[in-house]
Amino acid sequence: VAELNETHDPQLRSWIESANAPECDFPVQNLPFGVFCSAGTGAPRGGVAIGNCVLDLHALREMGVFTGVAAGAAAAAIGPTLNDLMQQPPSSVSALRAQLSQLLRADGAVSERVRSRVSEFLVPRDSVQMQLPAAIGGYTDFSCSYTHMAGMRNGEPARIFFQFPIGYHGRTSSIRPSGFPVTRPCGQWVRDTPAEVQFGPEPRLDFELEFAAFIGSGNELGESLSVAQAAERLFGYCLLNDWSARGIQMLEMGGLGPFLGKSFVTTISPWVITNEAMAPFRVARPQRREVEPPVPAHLDAPEDEKAGGMSIELSAHLQTPGMRAAGLPPERIVSTNLKSLYWTFAQMLAQQTSNGCNVQPGDLIASGTVSGPEPQGRACLAEINQRGSRPLDLPDGLKRVWLEDGDELTITGRAVRAGYVSIGFGECTGRVTSARGSPGNAPHLRTNPG
């Protein structure tokens, strides 16, 4: 777990005024890394979000402002992916953050001439196309929310939930950055009346509000990481929407677990909030109840118990086509907090490697649906609608059981702690588009008498 340092100082302000607005996701205390394309800069390159701008790291590095180990980290951060940056020693990334902080804060030890040059490398954030921040070689989705597991089962989670973080391998090829359209998948699902399997556009399209970590340096095949070691290999974090086709998934759960019900697309927010930036927001992991088994030895570590959790307010907002047409803003339908997660990211990574499995820089591990005990804490429609029995009421007078074509779902996150400047994660958004060949999907739609 990274330590507090001067980059977290709540007194810091930036000479880029938009970074000082209280609601800004990217104040000078954040400094997240990403990969962007813009008309001016062409090919994908690394950048840092500050206020309503992106700072072009490629150009900044060519200017020669970085020194020492920070220069090495900057060289690894120019793009087109951040995998090289992710495997730098945490101390080098920390040095880069410290020098970026000096460059961007109002009281930084930087001459007017340098600041003037730096300002030339700022690109308006709303003018760039964000890319995936890394080439993601492996993606694991865990299921670490007690409330979600209980909600999906309508009862206490299975005992293994308490024994280790349950997970499965997700599909890496269909992970896309925020904004990518979500095409309603086709697949096989059970029609209720009469009960039979048919192939066609998925009627029960859902979202899952999740949170994810990018792996920094990896391990060798055969080498297990302790929880303490794992904590040092977490490079940073993003928001994730694990779009779910519930009809397809339901059939698959009788087989070998989630597969086509999840692999049609997974959306992540494009900015990687560094592990160091999260230092002020660390919290203890939740207390276990008496009835639960103790933490297994290979997943236990004192530091993780004290500070393995993170306090991050997470929200999901829905805007239907009707709301858009009426000029209504997106409606918040989920409000939860990451701190309720039963297992920490260090525990997830330790578990992933406990059998000797190797992970690599840029691998992604996700939390599973972050449902919490708060009002509006249910973080997917399956929980909200209680298996279709309780539709969601929306401001346009319509109801939603599942996502309809044209619906846009946006996940946001803010790390908050009294006495510190809160930092945000940007947006993880996607709009549902109709299934290929719809309406009707005639070529595919055929009842399977099985």
Candidate residues 18, 52, 102, 174; the one interacting with its own copies per rule CB under 8 A: 174
Contact between 356 and its own copies by CB under 8 A: the answer reads: yes
- CA dist 264 and 260 (Å) reads 7
Beta-strand ranges (E) seen in 251-328 are 266-268, 273-274, 282-283, 309-310, 312-319
Contact between 442 and its own copies by CB under 8 A: the answer reads: no
Identify which of residues 185 and 280 has a Cβ nearer to its own copies in the complex: 185
One character per residue 128-167, x = contact with its own copies (rule: CB under 8 A): ---------xx-x--x--------------xxxxxxx-xx
Contact between 249 and its own copies by CB under 8 A: the answer reads: no
Length of the chain: 450
Contact 291, 146 (CB under 8 A): no
Is 317 assigned a catalytic role?
Answer: no
Identify which of residues 92 and 249 has a Cβ nearer to its own copies in the complex: 249
- CA dist 160 and 155 (Å) reads 14
- CA dist 113 and 103 (Å) reads 11
Pairing of strands 446-448, 186-191: unpaired
By three-state DSSP, how is residue 445 classified?
coil
Contact between 359 and its own copies by CB under 8 A: the answer reads: yes
Identify which of residues 216 and 330 has a Cβ nearer to its own copies in the complex: 216
- CA dist 280 and 3 (Å) reads 8
Identify which of residues 38 and 354 has a Cβ nearer to its own copies in the complex: 354
Candidate residues 27, 108, 187, 247; the one interacting with its own copies per rule CB under 8 A: 187
By three-state DSSP, how is residue 326 classified?
coil
Contact between 362 and its own copies by CB under 8 A: the answer reads: no
Contact between 355 and its own copies by CB under 8 A: the answer reads: yes
**Residue 207, token pair as written in the block:** 């979202």
**Residue 303, token pair as written in the block:** 């530091």
Candidate residues 1, 65, 132, 265; the one interacting with its own copies per rule CB under 8 A: 265
Contact between 171 and its own copies by CB under 8 A: the answer reads: yes
- CA dist 204 and 382 (Å) reads 9
Q: Which of 58, 148, 317, 444 is catalytic?
A: 148
Binding residues for its own copies (CB under 8 A): 137-138, 140, 143, 158-164, 166-174, 176, 183, 185-188, 197, 199, 202, 221-224, 245, 248, 251-252, 254-261, 263-265, 292-294, 296-298, 351-352, 354-360, 363, 436, 444, 446, 448-450
